[in-house]
């Protein structure tokens, strides 16, 4: 697909993650997680920080910090709405670091909604 979204939603970037990157609020934790994956793939550190819970986000994140990893594929395994303002998303991300072979990262991520905005809290890597 021409201009496919990096998050592997099957939609174009314009119809999927770009509106969130431009300020639209994610409707649920899965959409936020997908938009964060796309932000890593597109090297958008400001968006990543903006959607990270204040209690767990790093003090800063730069494009330089995001260099060296090429994000290749995303597969969402599950999205569980725990309650109105808390959710879990399990995903597998395929990436390549430098000239290394492809690797996979499986993460169980926690999200919370504050003032109507979903935020990434943290994740447990398998």
> Which pLDDT tens digit goes with each residue over 7-24?
999 999 999 999 999 999
Give the pLDDT mean for 25-37: 98
* Cα distance between residue 48 and residue 59, in whole Å: 12
Instruction: Give the burial class of 35: count Cβ atoms within 10 A of its Cβ; 0-12 exposed, 13-18 middle, 19 or more buried.
Output: buried
pTM: 0.95
Is residue 64 within 8 A of residue 40, CB to CB? The reply is: no
The kind and range of the H/E element at 39 are: helix 29-42
Least confident among 19-33, 71-85, 95-109, 112-126:
95-109
Q: Is the pLDDT of residue 2 over 90?
A: no
**Looking at the domain 18-125, which fold is it?**
Nuclear Transport Factor 2; Chain: A, (3.10.450)
When pLDDT is cut at 50, 70 and 90, the band that residue 126 belongs to is confident
The kind and range of the H/E element at 48 are: helix 45-50
């Amino acid at each position: 697909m021409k201009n496919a979204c990096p998050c592997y939603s099957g939609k174009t970037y314009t119809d999927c993650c770009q509106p969130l990157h431009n300020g639209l609020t994610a409707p649920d934790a899965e959409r936020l997680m997908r938009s964060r994956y796309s932000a890593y793939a597109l090297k958008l550190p400001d968006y990543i920080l903006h959607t990270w819970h204040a209690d767990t986000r790093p003090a800063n994140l730069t494009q330089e910090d995001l260099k060296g990893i090429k994000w290749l594929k995303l597969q969402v395994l599950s999205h569980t709405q725990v309650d109105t303002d808390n959710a879990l998303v399990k995903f597998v991300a395929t990436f390549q670091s430098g000239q290394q072979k492809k690797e996979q990262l499986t993460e169980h991520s926690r999200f919370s909604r504050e003032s109507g905005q979903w935020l990434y809290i943290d994740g447990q890597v398998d």
